[in-house]
Structure 1
Amino acid sequence: MSQHTTKTPEQALAEFSPGLPFAVALSGGADSVALLLACTQRWPGQVRAVHIHHGLQAAADDFQSHCAHLCEQWGVPLVVRRVDAGHAPGQSPEDAARQARYKALSEAVHSEWPEVRDVVLAQHADDQVETLLIALSRGAGLPGLASMPAQWQRQGLHWHRPWLSVPGRVLREWLRSQGQAWIEDPSNSDQKFTRNRIRSQVLPALAEALPAFRETFARSAAHAAQAQEVLNEVAAQDLSQTGVPPRIQAVQQLSRARQALVLRHWLRQHHATTPSTAQLNELLGQIEVCTTRGHRLHLKVGQGYIERAGEHLAWRST
């Protein structure tokens, strides 16, 4: 069966081999409830659960109570973490909540279960399509078009998304077949969120016009991810030549496209920031004319500034 063919929950987990024991991020919604139930059936006694209480809506306490009830019923150890998911100026509430969630998940697993090295998340095929469409709507490059990876490493943990080939509808049908209830997040019907508008308006139209869109979009995302891996290798090689921090003259020897590539790579890998397209174009323009010893360079990029420090570019956070 092709890697990107739509699967049932059982088929998806049959191809999934996490390190044991492992933790499941449990929100209480259908997707994560299906994940926890399927994992406890397949790996009894090897599953832990972490619930993140965001405190963003009145239903948050109901989600926590539901998760506690399920874990008690299935004999799964549960840890609850409360987070402040307030967003900074210029940051979307969704991004702020996501970052707070990952940080809390990591800290909970490290502190409560030092033996756990794998964390499993419940995003599914529809979530992947929504991520790709949002990236397209924002004019994203390859990193955005690659959408969500099926697995990656962060903060000393291995993260997995085994549901990426399973549509949300299939997960809900499977839960009903198991006689298992879940809680619907009230915010899922709020049309002010782009994801919800895509889910309610765009996905049904795509299903009618392009029945295989989940599989074909997943293939496109996988192609973008593969191409980005190659570009990351090129950027790492170029950065080893330009140095860290990069030497201005060495950067100037590269083509403009590779200059952009290596500067994005430097900022992302060493300073955890990503310049906008406009910021990067301005930076490239300033580097191009930086040919005299007295030429100054000072530019807002991401969450800080890039300046000239002698023969090098320097980063200063705000």
Structure 2
Amino acid sequence: MSALLFLQQHLAGHQQLLVAYSGGLDSSVLLHQLVLLRQQSPLLRLRAIHIHHGLSASADAWVNHCQSECLRWDVPLEVVRVTVDGRKSGIEAAARQARYTAFRHALLPGESLVTAQHQDDQCETLLLALKRGSGPAGLSAMPRNRALDGRAHLRPLLDRTRHQLEAWAQAHQLRWIEDESNQDSRYDRNFLRQEILPALTSRWPHFSQAVARSASLCAEQEQLLDELLSASLSALVDEKGALDIVPLQAMSEVHRAALLRRWIAGQQGRMPSKEALNRIWSEVACSREDAAPRLRLGQAEVRRFRQRLYWLTLAPDLKKEVIPWPAPWTPLLLPAGLGKLVRGERGMAMRPPGDREAVSVRFQASGQYHITGRAGSRPLKKLWQELGIPPWQRERTPLIYYNDSLMAAAGLFVTREGEPAGDRAWHIHWEREES
């Protein structure tokens, strides 16, 4: 089968493509093949994106090369500069995260992302998964097609070897760049590529093909488990994505771990290790009833509330925030993506501030409060519990103050001090971004 026909079959149904173009051999071959395919299929729309990581002294020269090639091939190119901080997860992981964040932001409606990973990359990915002690999900390595924030991410060259890509590049006299960091064996992938895979391939010439086949078989097993467990997982997860703990208690450890993994995947979380799964269950799900357990995993954390587990993205601490809301009280933008407060015709009713009362929004309060519609006063912690507000939402609920007195919690309650008198009232509506 010709390379273009092979490519066309793997791109079936995808007519608008954003091609990740580093300027290296692999992405140069992919983009060149797509340009030739566009000549046969005029409806095919191509754009390219180049990520400037700022990690090499040659990075600007690479941009110039990519711009020159895209101009020659009549492909629009977007260059995105990113900042890579490898202190937490290492340079390789941080650079990859920065790339894919840029890809997500660059994708237009209806576009699919196309990347140039090939069979040798697949082999390296599986070996790295073995090094980490991964199970079948990790050993599935890279899927040919996957969802990326509701768009398609396609890897049409996964069945092609690097040798085949080199042969194409030479036959068509392509020009590409060589990243000097690819020679640095301190990076795990480079170590495998330079030290390990040549020895394995010398002994077993079809090693990469066999590894790719194993990855495919693992992926099939994972897909089968997904299908078998889909119904039972759906029954355990509510509309907010929280997982019911009680039914899991009667399950075997293996069954429970399989459901936990799929729940985390459904929350767009990174696949945890076996140790992390054990900690989720023992330290969070099974902690004492009056505890408020939390376990941080990367940039997310698992918390429990009322016999349900929640997967939450880490958020900034807002306890010390004091946001003035001066007259004429136009819509107030809240921090950390919490939306805005709007004074208008709808929302909860509260009294307007007096002439000497400054309005502000905060995210922390303590003490006892008497709220409208209820007899007697209660500690704020008790009020949160009665309203069924999880601890992490309490810390992100806008509290409206007049001077230093709490008047209301947006969308939840108004204190007796903030109760409207007569027909004079403000109406405050909390417009959340997710709505």
TM > 0.5 fold call: yes
Alignment pair present for 1:180 and 2:174: yes
Q: Which whole-Å CA distance do the structure 2 matches of 1:148 and 1:88 have between them?
A: 26
Q: Which residue of 2 aligns with 1:4?
A: none
Aligned residues: 305
Larger CA deviation: 97-106 vs 183-192: 97-106
Q: Which residue of 1 aligns with 2:119?
A: 125
Q: Which residue of 2 aligns with 1:261?
A: 258
Q: Which whole-Å CA distance do the structure 2 matches of 1:13 and 1:64 have between them?
A: 26
- Which protein has the larger Cα radius of gyration, Structure 1 or Structure 2? 2
State the one-letter code of the partner of 2:59.
A
For residues 69-125 of structure 1, give each alpha carbon's deviation from its aligned partner in whole angstroms, at most 9, with x where no partner exists.
Answer: 101111111111111122352x23222211221221232232xxx4x5222111111
3-state DSSP of counterpart to 1:152 = strand
3-state DSSP of counterpart to 2:99 = helix
State the one-letter code of the partner of 1:30.
L
3-state DSSP of counterpart to 1:300 = strand
Residues 195-206 of structure 1 aligned to structure 2 (within 5 Å):
195-206=189-200
Please state how far the C-alpha of 1:10 moved relative to its aligned partner: 4.0
3-state DSSP of counterpart to 1:15 = helix
Q: Which residue of 2 aligns with 1:243?
A: 237
Q: Which whole-Å CA distance do the structure 2 matches of 1:133 and 1:239 have between them?
A: 30
Of residues 98, 102, 105, the one that matches 2:103 is 105
Higher relative contact order (CA 8 A, sep 6+): 1
Q: Which has the higher strand share?
A: 2
Q: Which whole-Å CA distance do the structure 2 matches of 1:214 and 1:275 have between them?
A: 27
Please state how far the C-alpha of 1:278 moved relative to its aligned partner: 1.6
TM-aligned CA distance change 1:8 to 1:132, over 3 Å: farther
TM-aligned CA distance change 1:51 to 1:286, over 3 Å: closer
CA RMSD of aligned residues (A): 2.3
Q: Which whole-Å CA distance do the structure 2 matches of 1:98 and 1:198 have between them?
A: 18
Q: Which whole-Å CA distance do the structure 1 matches of 2:104 and 2:310 have between them?
A: 31
State the one-letter code of the partner of 1:68.
Q
Alignment pair present for 1:298 and 2:296: no
Q: Which residue of 1 aligns with 2:209?
A: 215
**Which residues of structure 1 form unaligned runs of 5+?**
1-6
Q: Which whole-Å CA distance do the structure 1 matches of 2:99 and 2:123 have between them?
A: 21
State the one-letter code of the partner of 1:262.
L
TM-aligned CA distance change 1:252 to 1:117, over 3 Å: same
3-state DSSP of counterpart to 1:43 = helix
Q: Which residue of 1 aligns with 2:322?
A: none
TM-aligned CA distance change 1:14 to 1:239, over 3 Å: closer
For residues 250-301 of structure 1, give each alpha carbon's deviation from its aligned partner in whole angstroms, at most 9, with x where no partner exists.
Answer: 11122211111122222232262443322212333457866x7x46462524
Cα contact 1:12–1:166 (8 A) shared by 2: no
Please state how far the C-alpha of 1:127 moved relative to its aligned partner: 0.5
Q: Which whole-Å CA distance do the structure 2 matches of 1:36 and 1:317 have between them?
A: 36
Of residues 277, 301, 308, the one that matches 1:312 is 308
Q: Which residue of 2 aligns with 1:94?
A: 92
Q: Which whole-Å CA distance do the structure 2 matches of 1:273 and 1:129 have between them?
A: 21
What TM-score do you get using the length of structure 2 for normalisation? 0.65
Cα contact 1:9–1:171 (8 A) shared by 2: no
Please state how far the C-alpha of 1:235 moved relative to its aligned partner: 3.9
Cα contact 2:280–2:295 (8 A) shared by 1: no
**Which residues of structure 2 form unaligned runs of 5+?**
315-435
Q: Which whole-Å CA distance do the structure 2 matches of 1:121 and 1:59 have between them?
A: 22
Q: Which whole-Å CA distance do the structure 1 matches of 2:144 and 2:268 have between them?
A: 25
Q: Which residue of 2 aligns with 1:225?
A: 219
Q: Which whole-Å CA distance do the structure 1 matches of 2:311 and 2:115 have between them?
A: 34
Cα contact 2:294–2:304 (8 A) shared by 1: no
